[in-house]
A and B are shown apart, each in its own frame.
Chain A
Amino acid sequence: MAEHIITDDDIIALLFARREDGLEQVAKRYGRDCHRIARNVLGSEQDAEECVNDMYMKVWDSIPPARPKSLRSFVLTLTRNLAIDRLRVNRAGRRIPADICIPLSELEEHLEGIAVSDERMTEDLRRIINEFLDSLSKKDAALFVRRYWYLDSVRRLSEISGYSENNVYQRLFVMRQKLRDRLIKEGYEYEV
């Protein structure tokens, strides 16, 4: 008798067939990861939960027609974007302290004078950021991504990595500086 393990493709197929158990599978497989990243951004369990629910809705609306290559990456990215958007709304309503998303703020500081907002540069930016990550050691790359994509706290990174918090700060600082240098070298001149 043929048994079948539910794969990402199966989940996508369920969603294409408009079957709600596809969402259940998404929740089962990726719900916890998504909740964690939403909580990192929003700093609130309740907001994170609502955000993840929004993500399910978004998945339902997006697939079909979208057929993501990696469902995990797709749902994590959706969650992250939704969480950041929600953070902005919350901030506007002053429901949360302004500095709650510290990772993005500290990266932003190093991008002062760098122009990265032109839509035409998207592909180039993609190449630069990924080449930059390629140039890092695996550990540093993991630190960078955890900090600026997953928006983890330095304390959490210290726990994960075994580095002291100071060491984590220092490494992140050097990486931000390297990224800035690379952007400048690639011609992303200072804004006037």
Chain B
Amino acid sequence: MKQNKARRLTEHLDEKYVLMAAYPEAVFRKHRHGLLMKRILIVAACVAILAVGMVAVLLPALRSDPGVATDPPETQSPLSPDADWVEDPTIVKVQRLSASRGFDEGDGYTLPDPSVSVDAVRAIMGERLILLRFTCRDGETITVTPSADGALVEALQQELNGRPYWHIAKSNESGYEMANEFLNVNSKEELARLGQSVTLTEDTVLLWQYPCYPRACVQDNFVDFTITDSEGSIKGGGSIYIGGLDLTTVSENKTYYSASRGPSNVNLNAAYRPVLLGAYRYAEGTEVDAETHAQKLSALREKAAQARAHLFDDLSDDDFRLSYRVLLYKYGTDMKPGISVTTLHADPAYDRYAVVTAGKEQKQFFLYDGTCQPITEWEIYTADEYGYTVTGKLTLADGTVVMVDINDPERMYEIILPNE
């Protein structure tokens, strides 16, 4: 089939359209958000109508003949394929947290089925912790074995800045308190221990500190875990997806500052999107072979991957504003007079290191550093019309030159350039 004309015609597209379409998620974000709300409203309306209808039908019937026996509740056949499967490997969108608001206990997601052993999931992005709370049944001991393979291990080998931890913790009034550190990976040799199991008794919380800062680690990575009982039988498992906005940068030469961590070669001011987690547990007394287990994990991963597309659906404008925080670094001093572009927000935590935040509605950059320097000069080297990719140089009033490099197809920036 000839496609010459189609090809020829589309070759003439202006590159601004090519660049714009390189980030379609950003273009459609509002639409999807609106669509989600609409669906929720429709479902809510249907449920309400159904409830009213059922009351209208059932109430007279019960009143007229209270002695009529009802059918026993339908039970699931033990022979059905999923009878042994506490089938709710729901992909749970874990609470989003921001550094400024901290961890809000009341706002998290929990798995809907209380029989699922992983009964609470939290992610603390600021501290880079993923909390999996495994509540064992009475008198039960389970073993949780994470499988860290593939891309994750590869990335860890490349980036041994990563320090994944397994912690065992006990819950207390203020949340979770870490107890003995279980694993600390600092070298390739220790990496092999990442798959080590941890045995839990009732009401134990497992904290997994994910090595968020190696960039490769937070994009499309899954970590599976398997739950076994004291006999070694597989009792369940889950898959954690870690991904989303990764604005971290790692550099051997640059030094970044963080309010909580001080100097580092890692920019920890990144805003992370949360972790998705799917988990399940088999019914008591069920024996599951490894192959079936692997299939279940695979299905879980697939769902997590699908859910990834909607990772940004529930973000508000305010969240986007937080997410767009990008740490820049001081380039040098080169005093140049210029015009003041914008009023700046002061944030002493960042010392003199500039942070550019693109507000969704403000249509301008906010720059805030310890001295509240106005930007006096913009020099944009490359930028597409929509500001998804920007490289350039900002000159502050005191002559500080800040280099800007926002250019990564996997990220969801919406940096809006100042009006010329």
A pairs with B: yes
Chain A interface (Cβ within 8 Å of chain B)?
1-9, 29-30, 32-33, 69-73, 76-77, 81, 84, 98-99, 101, 103-105, 107-108, 111, 114, 116-117, 122, 125-126, 129-130, 133, 138-139, 141-142, 145-146, 148-150, 157, 159-163
28 CB-based A-B contacts, threshold 8 Å: A3-B329, A7-B391, A70-B15, A70-B19, A70-B382, A70-B384, A71-B382, A73-B15, A77-B11, A101-B3, A107-B6, A108-B2, A108-B5, A125-B8, A129-B10, A130-B12, A138-B27, A139-B27, A139-B31, A142-B28, A146-B24, A148-B10, A149-B18, A149-B21, A159-B309, A160-B309, A161-B31, A162-B31
Chain B 254-269, CB within 8 Å of chain A: the 1/0 string? 1000000000000000
**A8 with B391, Cβ < 8 A, contacts A114-B5, A117-B4, A161-B24 known:** yes
B381 contact from A3, A9, A73, A105, Cβ within 8 A:
A9
In contact, A77 and B12 (Cβ under 8 angstroms): no
> Bound complex: CA of A97 vs CA of B14, how far in Å?
31
In contact, B19 and A142 (Cβ under 8 angstroms): no
In contact, B15 and A116 (Cβ under 8 angstroms): no
> Bound complex: CA of A83 vs CA of B306, how far in Å?
27
In contact, B332 and A2 (Cβ under 8 angstroms): yes
B409 contact from A8, A33, A149, Cβ within 8 A:
A33
Q: How distant is B264 from chain A, measured CB to nearest CB, in Å?
A: 15
Q: Tell me the residues in window 21-39 of chain B with beta carbons closer than 8 Å to chain A beta carbons.
A: 21-22, 24-25, 27-28, 31-32, 35-36
> A33 — which chain B residues lie within 8 A by C-beta?
22, 409
In contact, B10 and A149 (Cβ under 8 angstroms): yes
> B391 — which chain A residues lie within 8 A by C-beta?
5, 7-8
> Bound complex: CA of A77 vs CA of B13, how far in Å?
10
**A125 with B17, Cβ < 8 A, contacts A8-B382, A105-B1 known:** no
For B405, give the chain A residue with the smallest CB separation: A5
Residue B7 interfacial (CB < 8 Å)? yes
In contact, B9 and A125 (Cβ under 8 angstroms): yes
Q: Tell me the residues in window 127-146 of chain B with beta carbons closer than 8 Å to chain A beta carbons.
A: none
> Bound complex: CA of A130 vs CA of B168, how far in Å?
59
Q: Tell me the residues in window 219-262 of chain B with beta carbons closer than 8 Å to chain A beta carbons.
A: 251, 253-254
> B331 — which chain A residues lie within 8 A by C-beta?
2-4
Known: A99-B1, A150-B21. 7 other contacts (CB 8 A): A29-B407, A103-B6, A105-B1, A105-B3, A116-B5, A142-B27, A148-B10
> Bound complex: CA of A3 vs CA of B254, how far in Å?
7
In contact, A84 and B7 (Cβ under 8 angstroms): yes
In contact, B21 and A32 (Cβ under 8 angstroms): no
> A5 — which chain B residues lie within 8 A by C-beta?
391, 403-405
B18 contact from A73, A101, A104, Cβ within 8 A:
A73
Residue B104 interfacial (CB < 8 Å)? no
Residue B376 interfacial (CB < 8 Å)? no
**A129 with B403, Cβ < 8 A, contacts A142-B28, A162-B32 known:** no
Residue B389 interfacial (CB < 8 Å)? yes
For A71, give the chain B residue with the smallest CB separation: B382
> A148 — which chain B residues lie within 8 A by C-beta?
6, 10
Residue B20 interfacial (CB < 8 Å)? yes
B13 contact from A70, A114, A139, A149, Cβ within 8 A:
A149
For A74, give the chain B residue with the smallest CB separation: B15
> Bound complex: CA of A149 vs CA of B382, how far in Å?
22
> B389 — which chain A residues lie within 8 A by C-beta?
72
Residue B410 interfacial (CB < 8 Å)? yes
In contact, B332 and A142 (Cβ under 8 angstroms): no
For B26, give the chain A residue with the smallest CB separation: A142
A146 contact from B9, B21, B407, Cβ within 8 A:
B21
> Bound complex: CA of A98 vs CA of B404, how far in Å?
45
> Bound complex: CA of A3 vs CA of B400, how far in Å?
13
For A183, give the chain B residue with the smallest CB separation: B9
Q: How distant is A177 from chain B, measured CB to nearest CB, in Å?
A: 14
> A122 — which chain B residues lie within 8 A by C-beta?
12
> B329 — which chain A residues lie within 8 A by C-beta?
3
B9 contact from A30, A105, A107, A150, Cβ within 8 A:
A107
> Bound complex: CA of A85 vs CA of B35, how far in Å?
39
In contact, B13 and A129 (Cβ under 8 angstroms): yes
**A105 with B410, Cβ < 8 A, contacts A130-B14, A149-B21 known:** no
For A104, give the chain B residue with the smallest CB separation: B3
In contact, B381 and A141 (Cβ under 8 angstroms): no
For A176, give the chain B residue with the smallest CB separation: B6
- Which 3 pairs, one residue from A and one from B, show the smallest C-beta to C-beta distance? A73-B15, A162-B32, A145-B21
> Bound complex: CA of A76 vs CA of B20, how far in Å?
13
> Bound complex: CA of A77 vs CA of B404, how far in Å?
25
> Bound complex: CA of A25 vs CA of B405, how far in Å?
14
A133 contact from B14, B22, B309, B384, Cβ within 8 A:
B14
In contact, A130 and B17 (Cβ under 8 angstroms): yes
In contact, A3 and B12 (Cβ under 8 angstroms): no
A160 contact from B11, B20, B25, Cβ within 8 A:
B25
